[in-house]
Amino acid sequence: MDVGIVGYGAYVPMYRIKAEEIAKVWGADANSIKRGLAIEEKSVPGPDEDTATISVEAARHALKMAQIDPQDIGAIYIGSESHPYAVKPTATIVAEAIEATPNLTAADLEFACKAGTAGIQITSVIIPNGASLANFWYFDDITGNWTITVSDNSSAPDGNTGTDDATDQTTVTLIPVTATKFIILDPADDEAGDHWPEQE
């Protein structure tokens, strides 16, 4: 199964503030700000714009380029230093707005300028559909062995092989006990991707 970027989107608010204005407020040197940030001016959201609305616009552009059904989206992560709500996640607002709900995972990230790339790193460890081999990370403060159940969307056996039958289990063993590397034991026909690991 090929994995890569099939679409991207951007949205930049129309308003601007000059580096000189920023320097005036901070009592700093404008040329120093220009050199440090490599800018002449910065964009400023309008009074009816915030991280959620900007994310929705960018996501819609990405969907248009990728030409995919929003219902095929499995995860939405929003990286920002300025989420509009302290508790309610921006990611769920975006998911609803682009009609990607309800079958996905969503979360907000705050990682300064790295929040966006952190989201990409997180999605890179989600096992894609059709994959028989994938690396992933799991944390628990108790050492030992775990069993992770992997199946298709069917709630009952349907006669197919491997995890397509909705009944098989894939054993994940901690090796060695104090390490954080897991090995998925073959069956080679495993297909995973729609379900999160569950500890037993």
Helix, coil or strand: residue 147: strand
Q: What is the rounded CA–CA span in Å between residue 151 and residue 191?
A: 7
Assigned CATH class of 15-123: alpha beta
pLDDT digit string (tens) for 110-143? 988 888 888 887 876 665 555 545 555 555 555 5
- Cα–Cα distance measured from residue 36 to residue 178, given in angstroms and rounded to the nearest whole number: 44
Per-residue pLDDT, 195: 40
Domain ranges of the chain: 15-123, 130-200
The phi and psi torsions of 17 (rounded to 5 degrees) equal: -130, 130
pLDDT at 179: 40
Q: What pTM did the predictor assign?
A: 0.61
Query: CA–CA distance from 142 to each of 80, 175, 199 (Å)?
Result: 33, 14, 11
- Interacting residues of 110 by C-beta distance below 8 A, sequence separation 6+: 79, 80, 81, 83
Across 28-39, b (16+ Cβ under 10 Å) vs e yields eebeebbeeeee
**pLDDT at 163 (0 to 100):** 54
pLDDT 10s digit of each residue in the chain, 200 long?
A: 456 788 899 999 999 999 999 999 999 999 999 999 899 999 999 999 999 999 999 999 999 999 999 998 888 999 998 999 989 999 999 999 999 999 888 999 998 888 888 888 787 666 555 554 555 555 555 555 555 555 555 555 666 655 555 544 445 555 444 444 444 444 444 444 434 444 43
